[in-house]
Structure 1
């Protein structure tokens, strides 16, 4: 294995630990709601509050730590995730569980931006999307391994065991980062002004909006994955864990496919997978509730959903190639702001009507994200025309 791939895979392992902690709770929300005697939308605050912290602090934390040793940043982040999981296994009061869930969120975007930057810096320019795909592939791998396993263990034992599984994953990631990630990898600290100026670039702003609406679309329904299937498809919690496994398996394949497609056309790849934000809600609402229909539905759902974070990062970076880390942190922050909004809107729909209606909220956000892609394409096409006209004149 080449050195550049080693760094990328180490970053991927850390991502698995992070995603297991952030999204592993989705499969056990009904159990947590029952244990603490709260509604499902209040229990979902354990996910949305985590995402909101990332959204509000991500860019600032990334700028603050942009000149630090990358290995130390990654170790510190995973250690905090480990501590959070350990405390959560003790079944603390709901307010304390909320706090220990929020603490690691402050450094999550720093880790992602750092891991991607370290992987990309160790390879060639032509390998950029591939290396980034390896790191972000940890999201899909977590969906196919640790997230469904944690959900399965919770269905067999108790929801606290799910957090114990999360702690084990974080511990493994901590050890491997310590052993393999090279020390002294300190990037040149860029001025804040040179990075922040990308916020005035219209294509980048539109890319950020696309990311925000896309993630809101997916998470308005995915945040309630377990509860949705239990109530609308009458599936038990053990079967839910198998559904999450299938969801993740399809995600691993589609994440790999997306990485390949991005090297040919970023815009076409993003548009293709964005179409799922319209297709999946229609299937959810109008398909039958038979077990095999549900299996096919979950497989298609996982296929379209999984590459969303990779596609968002690639799309945003393509509009800001000279501000890689800051662009990645903004992708993470606005993506998590989308998680917060999608989860909140989904919870509001559930409280006001029925959980069966949440796919419509996802479709609305999905259409908005597609419009952002169209808008950016038109803007860039017009800019190219102006360049040609000026060169001729």
Structure 2
């Protein structure tokens, strides 16, 4: 039954719209508050840092609660953020309300994934997870570019209004269509924490961290990069986000089916974009057609990154799905923080045109982690399919 997976996907759209919706409007926010672009980027990096530092603990603490209540509570926090942010409060307050739902973001994701696979068979797990994670790509093709387009026509505050609307819709769907789902068997903390002592899991976590840092070194400043390095205005950037997302929806479904066959090879294939895309961006110059084609490929290779990272980590700890996924979310967001922070420093010190090369550096480190895991698995075999 895929119903629960699609419900989880809808909530994920709301979550991602709130987290990444600022990407398309960072230049406008920076201008409104008279900040540098790297300071405005803290709205993304601080959100991600809170997730990274608290995600696993919050997931462990809430692991015994009814899953429907957890999902509803999480989305209420995201709704609150969107409403307050739409009134353009002082920057310190905007930052504060942005941070609050970050405590529950990994809890929502881990719970939604658990709910999705609870009614499916083992062979469908990766495909059901891909449906939930497709919320990332759907947000990129719908709510994020639409909010960016509205901001370019009216003002950046409209972006947060869209975030609030999506959260309300997701709340209503979950409330009326998802049954109560109490946890019947709560795993002990010690049984879940033991995966932290497994070398293969640790290496998989490092791969996740470097891969997400690689993508977000440039993607966090998507609007800034296309504007300054490629000469595109706000409206054109919203179109690029739309193309990026359309391709991303397809990519998530393709990746989900490929992961059912081979996790490691699928992850490596999509990770190759961190090497390929910087080169293509450099050679595309200011040719609009070439840039569109590169952005499309970028969207295809980037969009399943969170799905691939989570599946890659879970494959090394199949008996601790929720906790492993919360760690995947946390370290992925730590990667967002690192990529956004270092990318912002590169922009200020060198120029936005250099951020893709940072993507390549982190991507190379992620590939090294995949090779290291393969080496370790020869001495300690584990089924990753």
TM range (shorter): over 0.9
**Residue 187 of structure 1: CA displacement?**
4.4
Instruction: Give CA-to-partner distance per residue, 1:152-189, whole Å, 9 cap, x none.
Output: 01011100001001100000000000011111432421
2:150 paired with 1:153: yes
Name 2:228's counterpart in structure 1.
Answer: 231
Name 1:60's counterpart in structure 2.
Answer: 57
Q: Is the 8 A contact 1:8 1:135 kept in 2?
A: yes
Instruction: Give CA-to-partner distance per residue, 1:101-157, whole Å, 9 cap, x none.
Output: 000000000000000011111111111101111111111111111111010010111
- Cα pair distance change 1:250/1:156, threshold 3 Å: same
Q: Is the 8 A contact 1:204 1:320 kept in 2?
A: yes
Name 1:22's counterpart in structure 2.
Answer: 19
2:38 paired with 1:41: yes
Alignment counterpart, residue 300 of structure 2, candidates 303, 315, 318: 303
Aligned equivalents of 1:107, 1:320: Cα separation in 2: 22
Name 1:88's counterpart in structure 2.
Answer: 85
Aligned equivalents of 1:281, 1:322: Cα separation in 2: 37
Aligned equivalents of 1:155, 1:139: Cα separation in 2: 22
Secondary structure in structure 1 of the residue aligned to 2:213: helix
Q: 1:316-327 to 2 correspondence within 5 Å?
A: 316-327=313-324
Aligned equivalents of 1:372, 1:340: Cα separation in 2: 19
Aligned equivalents of 1:165, 1:255: Cα separation in 2: 24
Name 2:285's counterpart in structure 1.
Answer: 288
Name 1:273's counterpart in structure 2.
Answer: 270
Structure 2 gap segments, 5+ residues each: none
Aligned equivalents of 2:371, 2:117: Cα separation in 1: 28
2:131 paired with 1:131: no
Secondary structure in structure 1 of the residue aligned to 2:2: helix
2:81 paired with 1:77: no
Q: 1:99-110 to 2 correspondence within 5 Å?
A: 99-110=96-107
Name 2:330's counterpart in structure 1.
Answer: 333
Name 1:391's counterpart in structure 2.
Answer: none
Q: 1:181-192 to 2 correspondence within 5 Å?
A: 181-192=178-189
2:384 paired with 1:381: no
Aligned equivalents of 2:63, 2:184: Cα separation in 1: 7
**Residue 382 of structure 1: CA displacement?**
2.5
- Cα pair distance change 1:25/1:187, threshold 3 Å: farther
Aligned equivalents of 1:90, 1:268: Cα separation in 2: 46
Aligned equivalents of 2:104, 2:121: Cα separation in 1: 27
Aligned length: 382
Aligned equivalents of 1:295, 1:187: Cα separation in 2: 50
Secondary structure in structure 1 of the residue aligned to 2:229: helix
Q: Is the 8 A contact 1:15 1:135 kept in 2?
A: yes
- Cα pair distance change 1:225/1:72, threshold 3 Å: same
Name 2:251's counterpart in structure 1.
Answer: 254
Q: Is the 8 A contact 1:62 1:113 kept in 2?
A: yes
Name 1:173's counterpart in structure 2.
Answer: 170
Aligned equivalents of 2:198, 2:183: Cα separation in 1: 28
Q: 1:199-210 to 2 correspondence within 5 Å?
A: 199-210=196-207
Aligned equivalents of 2:181, 2:112: Cα separation in 1: 14
TM-score (norm 1): 0.96
Q: Is the 8 A contact 1:214 1:366 kept in 2?
A: yes
